[in-house]
Structure 1
Amino acid sequence: MPRLDVAPRIELRGGDSAVLQWGGNEEFEIPKLKHGVLFLMSGYVGSQIHGCEYKLHLDYMRGGRIVNDGIIDGLQEHSRQLGGVNEEGLGLELGWNPVLVNRGEEGIYFFNSKMNNWIGHADFGKPFIQEASLVIVKRNVPILGLPDLIINLDSRPTYIVELKTTSNPANLRTIRGGREALQCESYFHMMNYLGFKPRGRRHYKGR
């Protein structure tokens, strides 16, 4: 069990070698992975299992995505669900947009910046925590998870909530395929891995 009071960090160590500093007293040399990624995102794991491998390949090779009105509306609704006050500063425009991928110096900056919300630093005395960062290590590969909400009861993280948006009213009661369910399930297992033992997890969909 790692020390949870010390947030994980990724550092480059000469050339393209990288290490994960884990728990304040361990280091893992991150293996060389496909597309040069340094860590995995739990959501991408679900997409890879239940989605299209080639789409993920294009995400890495092109480093961008097409953003349409539906994506903008969904991100704005997601911000409203989490109580966001700034719906304009999404950093996206209609058309082709670059995305931050989990490789190179940009990936290291992204990972380490997310550790500002590391679960080990969370205040479980609050009713809930937004977008806490979870990390587990499998075969020296860091996996990063960013659940939308963690509900606390009796000063313990108890329920994991994942928020989804849809433009189709018929989909409000439907979890899309196995990908959405697996994403929330992965957060549950990551919390157990870190020793928190939550009671359950749930999806909520909005328009």
Structure 2
Amino acid sequence: MRKRFMKLSVLLLVATFVVSGFSSKKEYNSSSMFTTDIVGELADVPFEYEVNMKSHHSVPFVGKSLEGFSSDVGFQESSNNYKAVNRLGYVGKYQFGWSALRWVGVKSKKRFLNDPDLQDKAFEALIAKNKFVLRDYITSYAGKVIGGVKVTESGLVAAAHLGGAGNVMKFLCSDGDNVFADANNVPITKYMKQFANYDLTSIPANANAKAIL
């Protein structure tokens, strides 16, 4: 009698298991990838172009304006770090040397490093001065190809920022044979190409430009 009861119990358990295995209840994948009832905000999945976008191309887009020129030169020089000081003593977002600082009327490196507005004004003053020094060369060479590089006003101004206006003149007068490179072995031709065709018309050539707030 006891054995018969045990057999019946086993059969009942098997029957229950089989029935539950064919239940009409739907199954859901437990992976969070397929979950539709998500609590909170969805993650913002970037487009491919956003993933590949360099930091100096981030929005807001300032393009080829003076603001774009300042931002792009600053990024090249220091990743737009106003506190940057390199091993050679060049300082700030635009990596000014002491002679360039004095040329635009800045007398204190400490103040310069602690004042982003002063740095921006100094950069604008340097643009104005370099435009004045190079004014005849800009008029004579703009649009021409020298040493395989198309000459533009902004390209010459950027090259002067890197290597000085005098070395830009030597490059042009030598028909591209005399190419100055800075202490990091960056040639002025790189800046001429990289910073070509920006609109710097809002800053007139001015031999007396100073960084004044």
The structure richer in helix per residue is 2
TM-score w.r.t. length of structure 1: 0.31
TM-score w.r.t. length of structure 2: 0.31
Which is greater in Rg? Answer: 2
The structure richer in strand per residue is 1
